[in-house]
């Protein structure tokens, strides 16, 4: 499929100009489509950029990818790329790299339809995001009656029982490493109490610390100097993305985690953010806070049906892994939690 009339493309192998790097943030406003994310979390230190520009020579899409053996992986994640550009990208890859048999698309908004190649969708996820209104008052009016009532009750109760309740925000270089560590450790302890292995390994925590220097925003709720709840999120353009939310279980009866999130969302509104993304995981609280789900898809496109057939063992492994994870989740939620001793 050719590009629209007057459009053109250019390719940068490894050495990406600063103007292209900054355009990535401007076009997509996604932390998962930034150079620091590619380097820290995807270990892609020298990706290739396919830049598609319009008649005015302004970039419309910047498709970042890596080549590993016979596979190409599009690095852009949590973004919308129109079908015609995804089709063009596939044709471009198969033409430029005769040995490549597979093109992988990870975490793309929208399905791959009408691509003239065999394909397989092997996973899907979701981004649950709030379109933020112009004021906290307007947002509060959008919440359900019960949600407003509960938030008001818990906030009043917290301030009534404690005299020194402080909500604070820090960003990028002003963020203290200890605050990040405290929030992540509270999350680990909460997962442990549910018999779930936390995904926040020491390496992952280190990457989050480094990434926060570029885009981080940390909010904390403290009582008498002790952090009892917090969030870690990322700011790119006018969008905010929630990475971690956690709280001290000793304060469960005050619902401090939800209070901290509510204040964080209000801060995003006050600073002019357009959207607050709570990302994947269909937790009930995300919908109570007025999140709306957008489906995300993971797909592979193959040069021919022959190469699709060759990848069948990998697809089978993906499916088996999904079943194992689902079995673990259901066992944890409906069996192990019932056996937990009463406190």
Quick check: is 288 in a domain? no
Counting runs of H as helices and runs of E as strands, what totals does the chain give? Answer: 11, 12
Residues whose CB falls within 8 Å of the CB of residue 235, separated by 6 or more in sequence, listed in order: 171, 215, 216, 217, 241, 273
- Give mean pLDDT, residues 276-285: 91
Residue bearing tokens 């009043």: 156
Compute the mean pLDDT over every residue in the chain, rounded to the nearest whole number: 88
Q: Give the tens place of pLDDT for each residue, 307-326.
A: 888 766 666 666 666 565 55
What span, in angstroms and rounded, lies between the C-alpha atoms of 260 and 274?
19
Q: What is the pLDDT of residue 29?
A: 95
Judge whether 159 lies within some domain: yes
Are 159 and 93 part of one and the same domain? Answer: no
Same domain, yes or no, for 266 and 148?
A: yes
pLDDT tens profile 206-239: 999 999 999 999 999 999 999 999 999 999 999 9
- Give 2 or 259, the one with higher predicted confidence: 259
- From the list 277, 289, 281, 290, the residue with the least C-alpha distance to 241 is 277
Q: What average pLDDT does this structure show over 99-107? A: 94
Say which CATH number the domain at 186 has. Answer: 3.40.630.30
Q: Is residue 238 part of a domain?
A: yes
Of the candidate ranges 104-108, 187-191, 213-217, 291-295, the one whose mean pLDDT is the lowest? 187-191
- Domain match, 118 and 207 both: no
Report if residue 290 sits inside a domain: no
Examine the domain organization and report whether 146 and 52 are in the same domain: no
Check whether residue 112 and residue 48 sit in a common domain. yes
What pLDDT is attached to residue 338?
A: 46
What is the model's pLDDT at position 326? 55
Looking at the domain assignment, is residue 259 inside a domain?
yes
Q: Are 193 and 269 within one domain?
A: yes
Q: Are residue 12 and residue 121 in the same domain, yes or no? A: yes
Same domain, 309 and 193: no
Res. 342 pLDDT band, cuts 50 70 90: very low
Q: Is the pLDDT of residue 52 over 90?
A: yes
Least confident range from 36-40, 293-297, 307-311, 335-339: namely 335-339
Using a pLDDT cut of 90, give the percent of the chain over it.
Answer: 67
Domain boundary among 273, 308, 329: 273
Residues 121 and 151 in one domain: no
pLDDT (0 to 100) of residue 340: 44
Provide, rounded to the nearest whole percent, the portion of the chain with pLDDT above 70.
90
Q: What is the pLDDT of residue 125?
A: 86
CATH assignment at residue 116: 3.40.630
- In this structure, the answer to whether residues 99 and 158 fall within a common structural domain is no
Does some domain include residue 231? Answer: yes
Per-residue pLDDT at 339: 45
Query: Average pLDDT in the 33-38 region?
Result: 96
Separation CA 33–CA 39 (nearest Å): 11
**At 213, is the secondary structure helix, strand, or coil?**
helix
Total number of domains constituting the chain: 2
Least confident piece of the model among 199-203, 275-279, 327-331: 327-331
Q: How confident is the model at residue 26 (pLDDT cuts 50, 70, 90)?
A: very high
* 140 lies in the same domain as 226: yes
Between CA 259 and CA 290 the distance in angstroms is 15
Q: Which pTM does this prediction carry?
A: 0.87
Strand partners, 226: 223
For 227, the domain range is 133-273
- For 122-176, the pLDDT digits (tens) are 778 899 999 999 999 999 999 999 999 999 999 999 999 998 999 999 999 999 8
Same domain, 228 and 322: no
The verdict on residue 210 lying in a domain is yes
pLDDT at 323: 62
**Is residue 39 included in any domain, yes or no?**
yes
């Amino acid at each position: 499929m050719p590009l629209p009339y007057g459009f053109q493309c250019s390719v940068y192998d490894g050495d990406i100009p600063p103007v292209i790097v900054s355009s990535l943030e401007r076009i997509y406003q996604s932390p998962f489509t930034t150079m620091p994310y590619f380097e820290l979390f995807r270990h892609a230190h020298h990706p290739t950029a396919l830049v598609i520009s319009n008649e005015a020579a302004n970039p419309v899409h910047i498709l970042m990818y890596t080549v590993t053996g016979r596979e190409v992986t599009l690095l852009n994640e949590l973004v919308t790329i129109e079908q015609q550009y995804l089709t063009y990208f596939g044709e471009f890859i198969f033409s430029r790299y005769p040995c490549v048999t597979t093109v992988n698309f990870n975490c793309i908004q929208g399905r791959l339809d009408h691509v003239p190649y065999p394909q397989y969708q092997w996973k899907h996820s979701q981004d649950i995001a709030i379109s933020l209104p112009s004021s906290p008052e307007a947002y509060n009016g959008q919440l359900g009656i019960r949600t407003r009532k509960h938030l008001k009750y818990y906030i009043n109760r917290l301030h009534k029982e404690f005299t020194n309740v402080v909500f604070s925000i820090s960003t990028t270089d002003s963020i203290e490493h200890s605050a990040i560590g405290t929030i992540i450790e509270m999350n680990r302890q909460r997962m442990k109490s549910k018999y779930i292995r936390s995904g926040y390994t020491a390496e992952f925590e280190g990457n989050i610390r480094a990434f926060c220097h570029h885009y981080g925003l940390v909010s904390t709720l403290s009582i008498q100097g002790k952090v009892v709840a917090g969030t870690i999120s990322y700011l790119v353009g006018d969008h905010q993305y929630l990475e971690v939310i956690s709280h001290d279980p000793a304060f469960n009866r005050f619902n401090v985690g939800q209070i901290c999130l509510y204040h964080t969302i209000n801060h995003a509104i006050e600073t002019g953010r357009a959207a607050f993304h709570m990302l994947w995981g269909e937790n009930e609280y995300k919908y109570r806070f007025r999140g709306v789900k957008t489906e995300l898809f993971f797909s592979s496109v193959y040069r021919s049906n022959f190469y699709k057939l060759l990848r069948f063992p990998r697809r089978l492994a993906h499916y088996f892994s999904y079943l194992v994870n689902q079995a673990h989740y259901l066992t944890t939620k409906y069996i192990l939690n019932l056996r937990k001793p009463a406190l």
